[in-house]
Homo-oligomer: A and B are copies of this chain.
Amino acid sequence: MRPAISPRTLARLPMYYRYLEDLNRQGVERISSHLLSGRLGITASQLRQDLSAFGQFGQQGYGYRVDELLRSVAKVMGLDREHNLVLVGAGNIGRALLSYDNFSRRGFKVLRIFDVSPDIVGQRINDIPVDHSRNLAAFLAEHPVEIGVITAPSAVAQQTADLLVAGGVTGIWNFAPVQLKVPSHVFLEHVHISDSLFLLSLRMQAGC
């Protein structure tokens, strides 16, 4: 059995993935642990320890093969397969997410968009059909969906989460600024966009 990966290693994996993907796109074939860790702003021993949590990579004096490491990181992250999503709330933030082609490229496939606005129900956004939110439960009953994206107003965020969970969704990506309650088998990532602005302000204030 694979040993449990520490929360800190987990939190760093998306950064590794992003960076390795960049290197791969630039045609870089291999990179030393020293150089890779330096670029990522961590120590070489930290990097080796993180990567050892999910396999043996790298050779003394050779470094890492970028494509091999990228594939392994992608696999650990579940990015080597498709995920079905629904998105609830086609306001500005919902549309911004839908316009990033990065998600579909990485296998995150939005099957349907739900909203209540008569202006867009029945239309398509980025070629994805927009359905009325009242049909969410019925849709989930007929389609296997892993991840629900909540970009709806705060006032309806919890009831949306409840419908998603009842419909079998096991991951929720929440953009509504409200603390959601979900059962323990459901994974929840809450995006606090303002945190990074606060952190910027803090770093400017503290000068570090």
Contacts and interface: CB of A to CB of B under 8 A. Distances in A.
Interface of A: 4-5, 7, 10-11, 13-15, 17-18, 22, 76-79, 83, 91-93, 95-97, 99-100, 102-103, 106, 108, 146-147, 170-173, 177, 179, 187-189, 191-206, 208
A95 B187 CA distance: 28
Given A93-B96, A96-B91, A192-B18, A146 B204 contact: yes
B202 A78 contact: yes
A38 to B, nearest CB: 15
Contacts of A10: 199, 202-203, 206, 208
Q: What are the nearest 8 A-B pairs in CB distance?
A: A78-B205, A92-B96, A14-B195, A93-B96, A14-B198, A189-B200, A77-B202, A92-B95
Q: Is the interface of A mostly helix, strand, loop or mixed?
A: helix
Nearest to A200: B189
A76 B207 CA distance: 11
Nearest to A108: B197
Nearest to A186: B204
A170 B194 CA distance: 18
Given A10-B202, A83-B201, A92-B95, A5 B208 contact: yes
Contacts of A14: 192, 194-196, 198-199, 202
Contacts of A195: 14-15, 18
Nearest to A92: B96
8 contacts: A14-B194, A14-B196, A15-B192, A91-B99, A102-B194, A147-B200, A187-B203, A191-B193
